[in-house]
């Protein structure tokens, strides 16, 4: 039996956006009610260990009825175990009613927004080529406002490219002014990072300390802990992307695809075949599934799913991110961060 469960459900591979750097497969498949019920039944049979339940896509709000349905299925378990609900979305389909639902159910919501309009719309286009990306950006901001008004816990997923890296700090300031504390800074994969871009990334990240120090002088003290946890999360995530962190040894990590496939880590176009563990239609016991000895990023490096220069850039950008986030934590909180990561040679 696992001591902890990290379960992700991909509600659909479809998305209403066409981001240039997205590596998620764009199939029209939606997770149906029968398979969703099977997921809930399988989770109910596991031990009452803590459960992190992630609602992913594509864009999961395109399959909103199933999102509500899974929450309904999970309510009986929430009284028997600690359940953390997490949702990733572009927020363009997020109404006030949906935001209240997510807040009332205790979701942690991660919204994909790169900062100000010029940076966000440069690579985030509409799936409908006739649609104006600026309108989708406005819809994302409206979704953020709905979440803020509802009192939801929100993080921003900021993709940074070589073309937008010089605006990283100003984009971060913009998002902080929207009330966001957890900024997930994601250096893009697949676009070439030259040395000058890395120097710009380093320069921008070093200046984050000034921004957060100013914020801490006026923010409620209780929010300082939110910032501390968010920086630790960024250090952890960067270590994972470098390929130096294993999934926690006591956790069962599973991802359910809309077509019924079960993966051992988050799949993307190049890695999904290597991550398949089984199929929902033929599984009756989640604890009986094998666990992957390597994470998705470690497999990406092992099997060279990307060209060598791309893999080199992933490591260089995320090592830099980890180092600067470690420095930021030490500067803001007066001591080096303490982590409980399980490391493995890349």
Q: Is residue 346 part of a domain?
A: no
Predicted TM-score (pTM) of the model is 0.94
Q: What is the pLDDT of residue 339?
A: 66
Q: What is the pLDDT of residue 345?
A: 36
Q: Is residue 343 part of a domain?
A: no
Give 88: exposed, middle or buried? Use CB within 10 Å, 0-12, 13-18, 19+: buried
Ranking 77-81, 171-175, 321-325, 333-337 by mean pLDDT, the lowest is 77-81
* % residues pLDDT > 70 (the chain): 96
Q: Is residue 341 part of a domain?
A: no
Q: What is the pLDDT of residue 340?
A: 57
Q: Is residue 340 part of a domain?
A: no
Using CA atoms, how far apart are residues 214 and 106, in angstroms rounded to an integer?
A: 29
Provide the domain count of the chain. 1
Ranking 230-239, 286-295, 322-331 by mean pLDDT, the lowest is 286-295
* % residues pLDDT > 90 (the chain): 85
Q: What is the pLDDT of residue 130?
A: 82
> What does pLDDT average to over the chain?
93
- The CATH number of the domain where 237 resides is what? 3.20.20.70
Q: Is residue 262 part of a domain?
A: yes
Contact between 31 and 12 (Cβ < 8 Å): yes
Q: What is the pLDDT of residue 269?
A: 86
pLDDT of 326-343, one tens digit each?
999 999 999 999 865 443
- Structural domain for 246, as ranges: 4-333
Q: Is residue 293 part of a domain?
A: yes
Q: Is residue 238 part of a domain?
A: yes
Q: What is the pLDDT of residue 246?
A: 72
pLDDT of 162-220, one tens digit each?
999 999 999 999 999 999 999 999 999 999 999 999 999 999 999 999 999 999 999 99
Q: What is the pLDDT of residue 346?
A: 34
Q: What is the pLDDT of residue 99?
A: 99
Q: What is the pLDDT of residue 344?
A: 39
List the 276-279 sheet strands across, edge first.
182-187, 153-160, 108-112, 83-89, 51-56, 4-10, 251-256, 261-263, 276-279
By 3-state DSSP, what share of the chain in percent is helix, strand and coil, each rounded to 5?
50, 20, 35
| Residue 249 pLDDT grade (very low, low, confident, very high; cuts 50, 70, 90) | low
Using CA atoms, how far apart are residues 331 and 318, in angstroms rounded to an integer?
A: 20
The answer to whether residue 304 scores a pLDDT higher than 90 is yes
- Give mean pLDDT, residues 119-147: 93
CA dist 218 to 145, 170, 223, 224, 324, Å? Answer: 21, 19, 10, 10, 23
DSSP 51-110: EEEEEESS-GGGGHHHHHHHHHHHHHHHTTS-EEEEEEE--TT--HHHHHHHHHTT-EEE
Q: What is the pLDDT of residue 321?
A: 98
Ranking 34-43, 86-95, 100-109, 286-295 by mean pLDDT, the lowest is 286-295
CA dist 63 to 7, 58, 67, 128, 324, Å? Answer: 18, 10, 7, 18, 38
Q: What is the pLDDT of residue 114?
A: 97
Q: Is residue 326 part of a domain?
A: yes
């Amino acid at each position: 039996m696992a001591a902890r469960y990290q379960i992700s459900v991909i509600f659909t591979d479809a998305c209403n956006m066409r981001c240039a750097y997205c590596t998620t497969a764009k199939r029209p498949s939606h997770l149906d009610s029968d398979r969703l019920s099977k997921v809930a039944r399988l989770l109910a049979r596991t031990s009452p260990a803590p459960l992190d339940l992630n609602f992913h896509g594509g864009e999961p709000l395109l399959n909103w009825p199933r999102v509500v349905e899974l929450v309904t299925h999970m309510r009986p378990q929430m009284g028997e175990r600690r359940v953390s609900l997490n949702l990733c979305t572009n927020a363009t389909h997020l109404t006030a009613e949906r935001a209240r639902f997510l807040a009332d159910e205790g979701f942690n919501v991660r919204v994909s927004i790169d900062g100000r309009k010029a940076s966000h719309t440069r690579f985030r286009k509409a799936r409908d080529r006739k649609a104006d990306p600026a309108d989708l950006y406005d819809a994302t901001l409206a979704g953020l406002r709905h979440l803020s008004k509802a009192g939801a816990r929100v993080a921003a997923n900021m993709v940074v490219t070589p073309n937008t890296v010089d605006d990283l700090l100003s984009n971060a300031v913009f998002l902080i002014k929207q009330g966001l504390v957890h900024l997930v800074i994601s250096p893009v994969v697949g676009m070439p990072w030259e040395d000058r871009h890395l120097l710009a990334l380093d320069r921008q990240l070093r200046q984050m300390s000034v921004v957060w120090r100013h914020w801490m002088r006026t923010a409620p003290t209780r929010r300082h802990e939110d910032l501390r946890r968010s920086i630790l999360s960024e250090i952890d995530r960067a270590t994972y992307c470098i390929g130096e962190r294993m999934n926690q040894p006591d956790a069962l990590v599973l991802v359910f695809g809309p077509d019924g496939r079960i993966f051992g880590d988050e799949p993307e176009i190049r890695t999904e075949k290597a991550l398949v563990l089984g199929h929902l239609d033929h599984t009756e016991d989640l604890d009986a599934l094998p666990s992957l000895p390597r994470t998705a990023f470690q497999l990406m490096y092992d099997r060279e799913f990307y060209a060598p220069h791309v893999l080199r850039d992933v490591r260089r950008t995320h090592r830099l991110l980890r180092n600067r986030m470690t420095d930021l934590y030490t500067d803001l909180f007066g001591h080096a961060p303490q982590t409980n990561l399980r490391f493995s040679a890349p």
